Amino acid sequence: MVFPLVKGITFMFLIGLGIMGNIYVFVSYMCLFKGVKRKSSHLILIHLAFTNSITLITGGMPTTLASLGLRDLLGDVACKIVVSLNRMARGFSLCTTSLLTVVQAITISPRASRWGRLQPRSAWHLLPLLVFLWILNSLISMNLPLYIKKASSMNSSEIRTNENYCYFLQQNSTIRWIFIVLMVLRDAVFQGVMGGASGHMIFLLHKHHQHVLHLQTSKLLYRTPPEVKAAKSVLLLMLCFLFFYWADCFMALYVTLSLEKCFIEVSALELVNLGYAILSPFVLMHRDGHLVEERQTLRPCVHL
């Protein structure tokens, strides 16, 4: 009983910290987006903070409640909604981070280049693309509500996979593999796009570094453009995402293949699953030391 209690308190603290961080990022970029310094990346970061909040609420809070012995607070319908939203939010997180990487790569590209020609004329031009990502991830997760039940409503013979507070029923193998293939294909495509855009950014940053060295050698004053600083932060955010994504994949595979489900291993997997949503707002705050300064130059839209 001690370990679940410690787990519940720890998760409650970390999830609360992550939610507050994402709310701060959401409100801060919302203020910037309403001001004169509106950028396409601001809209994407607003969406990322919103997505992270959904991940923490649907993935973290039910696990925390179950650890504290409050499993019965979730009904059958709530289980379907919570688990489905959590799986969708994980897909949103991948797609949004990939989109952010592409937009930042376009932003720092010369306007005459192929990448530079893709620069959106307005931040609102990205809205249809974000709607498409919602539709895509909703379709990939549309089968989940049919196979999810509240834990207390299940017989032991019907249990497929333990989700602490909800269970997956046995699915038709053909349907299950169709959705698994779609999910893997989505992850592969968006991570491939992310990798290509990141490689392009690294190439441009290397050229910028060589340019800076030349100016320093010539004893000329040079100031790093904000776009270059933003590109470096996006690369850091992408590395953060990839670390937690692949750590989650390998740990999930290990736990699945383990004959005995160790409490610590399962808890570590659940924490890694939420790691990006918890850490990413603080990565943005750290790199955007100018974030608060920029907000102070605009008319305040909300007082934090």
Q: Give the CATH number of the domain where residue 74 resides.
A: 1.20.1070.10
Distance of alpha carbon 182 from alpha carbon 140, whole angstroms: 7
What share of the chain has pLDDT > 90, as a percent?
29
Predicted confidence (pLDDT) per residue in 136-178, tens digit: 999 998 888 777 776 655 444 443 434 456 767 776 778 888 8
- In the predicted model, what is the mean pLDDT of residues 79-102? 90
Asked whether residue 302 is domain-assigned, the answer is no
SS (H, E, C) 188-203: HHHHHHHHHHHHHHHH
Strand order, beta sheet including 166-168: 148-150, 166-168, 161-162
Phi, psi at residue 42, to the nearest 5°? -65, -45
pLDDT at position 160: 40
Question: Which band of pLDDT confidence, cut at 50, 70 and 90, is reported for residue 105?
Answer: confident
Residue 73 has pLDDT above 80, yes or no: no
- In the predicted model, what is the mean pLDDT of residues 220-247? 78
pLDDT at position 162: 42
The count of domains in the chain is: 1
The predicted model scores a pTM of 0.84
Contact yes or no for 60/275 (Cβ under 8 A): no
Question: Which band of pLDDT confidence, cut at 50, 70 and 90, is reported for residue 292?
Answer: very low
Look up the domain containing 108 and give its range. Answer: 2-297
